[in-house]
Structure 1
Amino acid sequence: MERITLDNSRVIGKNEPSYIIVDVAANHNGDLETAKELIREAAIAGVDAVKFQTYEADKLYSIKTPKFSRDSTKPYDLIKSVQHPREWIQILSEYAKKLNIQFLSSPFDYEAVDLLEAINTPLYKVASAEIVDLKLIKYMAQKGKPMIISTGMCNIGEIEDAIEVCREVNNNNIILLQCNTVYPTPPNIVNLNAMDTLKTTFKLPVGFSDHTLGWHVPIAAIAKGASVIEKHFTLSRNQLGPDHSFSIEPDELITMVNQIRDVESALGNGIKKVLPEEMESYNYGRRSIIAGRNIQKGTIITEEMLIIKRPGYGIKPKLMNILIGSKANVDILEDDVITWEMIF
């Protein structure tokens, strides 16, 4: 399926504008007003959706899980400190609706799925790390909503497993995102060409979930055919928290969105032709055959009498050999643009 239609008639897929998601993740800092401000700024930037992450430490990590090398605390304690109250889902969903921006959240447990279903979420977003929880993915897929699946740290077989459980419940509305689970991701391991692999292998729309610094890599993903872009978003990278440092700020988000739309527009339809906007340059800026000297009426035209230079509304240079040997039908002055009416 190359195109997927959401409940607001927004179409994601081939020949459509990319669906841009900003991922708040833990950048709300546990503060509801900060969460709302992030939604406001996302709406101002013109993205399609603002996404949160709904998890609980008790359901996500064993307390015995070792800490990641990038963190100062164990993941259980970190998640405990940044998980948002589940009452926020209804509040933030209604707030986003007022601002005409779609509210999403990645669910990490069954209750989170139920809460999102209760607000009629437009789609489900599966985080890379959850791709092996096929039972949870199937639970989302059976709701009948489109599924966006990130594929960080995944092989083709694991992706195929996730797609298969969606199809088992007759959900074929699937989008795959190339992704990396290194924060921030250095450009040399991004592998945007993997989008081609995913598209060719699974015949599904593809996109890019980005964790690089800046926004030039997502722009490149658009040129590679990404139908979805996901990017982490913060009010300020100077804040403390696990996700701020590799997120983009409001002014940068506006720039990214504008540049994505510019690149989409610049891709065009692939038809190579002279554009109406180019006609002035076509006529005045190209070359044609010009008289290199005065040529009297009745003179047999030789190559030495002619030059090729601008403008371009005379006889085309490639027809020079046809012109040579013709007779001037009128007096032709030096630097006149030669047209067929001047010869016989």
Structure 2
Amino acid sequence: MIFISEIGLNYNGNIGLAYELIRQSKYSGADIVKFQLGWRAAKEDINHIDFDMLSNLKKWADFFEIELMFSIFNEEAYDLISMFSFSKYKIASRTLVDNFDLVKKIVDKGMDTYISLGMWTDSELPFVGYDNVHYLWCKSLYPTTPWDMLDLPKDFIHSQYSGYSDHSIGIDLPLLAIARGATIIEKHFTLDKSDTTIRDHALSATPEEYLCMTQIGKEIYKKMRLGI
């Protein structure tokens, strides 16, 4: 069972807040903490991550013993992250649609690659026969309401999806996905859901919520493995 704490842009361009979000993600039971590389990344923009900042994020994640992962949005982001040694990559469905050749290049590296399929409309999977590719079911609405989620897979075990990338308010839908066989959960993480700097704060989990989700989710997963 893998829990990905999606910080994304929720650090609000504040490097000190990024440190605290990594720390709290670890304390909240996340296995992986994730940022976005190449999205809103101009020098004056909120998510400008250069070599030095990326080095700090890696150092801090190593210190708190939590794995660091990035969503790769463009060639410049890929060139930057290639200067480091990462074992996993994330691909947003937007990148899959807008820059398929880049995604193919990343997948062909053979590293574990998690791909959200929220914006993918083709009936066929983008990559078949790759053991390193793990697909996440996703609804690309921010936030999703219960009425948007009526097509959440009823059985992840026998589906093409390994897990669920969540944009809902609360933690109940990630837990429902685990009960249906999802083994990877990606959930946005925040210290303040009322923060309006980035829209994602509202659909994120606080440390208390995230810890509750990981604790209950791991128990559900273990009981399912027993055959209950």
Correspondent of 1:84 among 38, 48, 54: 48
Give deviations 1:214-241, integer Å, cap 9, x for gaps.
Answer: 0010001101111210000011112222
| Equivalences for residues 63-78 of structure 1 within 5 A | none
CA offset at residue 183 of structure 1? 0.7
1:259 matched to which residue of 2? 216
1:97 matched to which residue of 2? 62
| Equivalences for residues 1-344 of structure 1 within 5 A | 18-57=1-40, 81-87=45-51, 88-132=53-97, 133-157=99-123, 160=125, 162-164=126-128, 171-190=130-149, 191-193=151-153, 196=156, 199-200=158-159, 202=160, 206-242=162-198, 243-270=200-227
Indicate how the Cα distance of structure 1 residues 137 and 238 shifts in structure 2: closer, same or farther if over 3 A, else same: same
CA contact (8 A) 1:199 1:206 kept: no
Find the aligned partners of 2:227 and 2:175 in 1 and give their Cα distance: 19
1:114 partner SS:
helix
1:85 partner SS:
coil
CA contact (8 A) 1:122 1:146 kept: yes
1:52 partner SS:
strand
Query: Taking every aligned residue pair, what percent have the same amino acid on both sides?
Result: 32
Give deviations 1:161-220, integer Å, cap 9, x for gaps.
Answer: x215xx5xxx43111100011111012222221764x954x5xx5100000000010001
Find the aligned partners of 1:126 and 1:195 in 2 and give their Cα distance: 23
Larger radius of gyration: 1
CA contact (8 A) 1:93 1:119 kept: no
Indicate how the Cα distance of structure 1 residues 55 and 47 shifts in structure 2: closer, same or farther if over 3 A, else same: same
2:226 partner SS:
coil
Find the aligned partners of 2:84 and 2:36 in 1 and give their Cα distance: 15
TM-score (norm 1): 0.61
Task: Return 5+ residue gaps in structure 1 as ranges.
Answer: 1-17, 60-78, 272-344
2:193 partner SS:
coil
Length, aligned pairs only: 224
CA offset at residue 153 of structure 1? 2.7
1:43 partner SS:
helix
Indicate how the Cα distance of structure 1 residues 127 and 194 shifts in structure 2: closer, same or farther if over 3 A, else same: farther
What letter is aligned with 1:98? F
Find the aligned partners of 2:46 and 2:154 in 1 and give their Cα distance: 32
CA offset at residue 136 of structure 1? 1.0
CA offset at residue 81 of structure 1? 3.5
Indicate how the Cα distance of structure 1 residues 51 and 182 shifts in structure 2: closer, same or farther if over 3 A, else same: same
CA contact (8 A) 2:8 2:35 kept: yes
Find the aligned partners of 1:234 and 1:122 in 2 and give their Cα distance: 25
Q: CA RMSD in A?
A: 2.2
What letter is aligned with 1:175? H
What letter is aligned with 1:261? K
TM-score (norm 2): 0.89
Find the aligned partners of 1:224 and 1:194 in 2 and give their Cα distance: 6
Find the aligned partners of 2:75 and 2:181 in 1 and give their Cα distance: 33
Indicate how the Cα distance of structure 1 residues 122 and 143 shifts in structure 2: closer, same or farther if over 3 A, else same: same
CA offset at residue 264 of structure 1? 1.4
Indicate how the Cα distance of structure 1 residues 57 and 232 shifts in structure 2: closer, same or farther if over 3 A, else same: closer
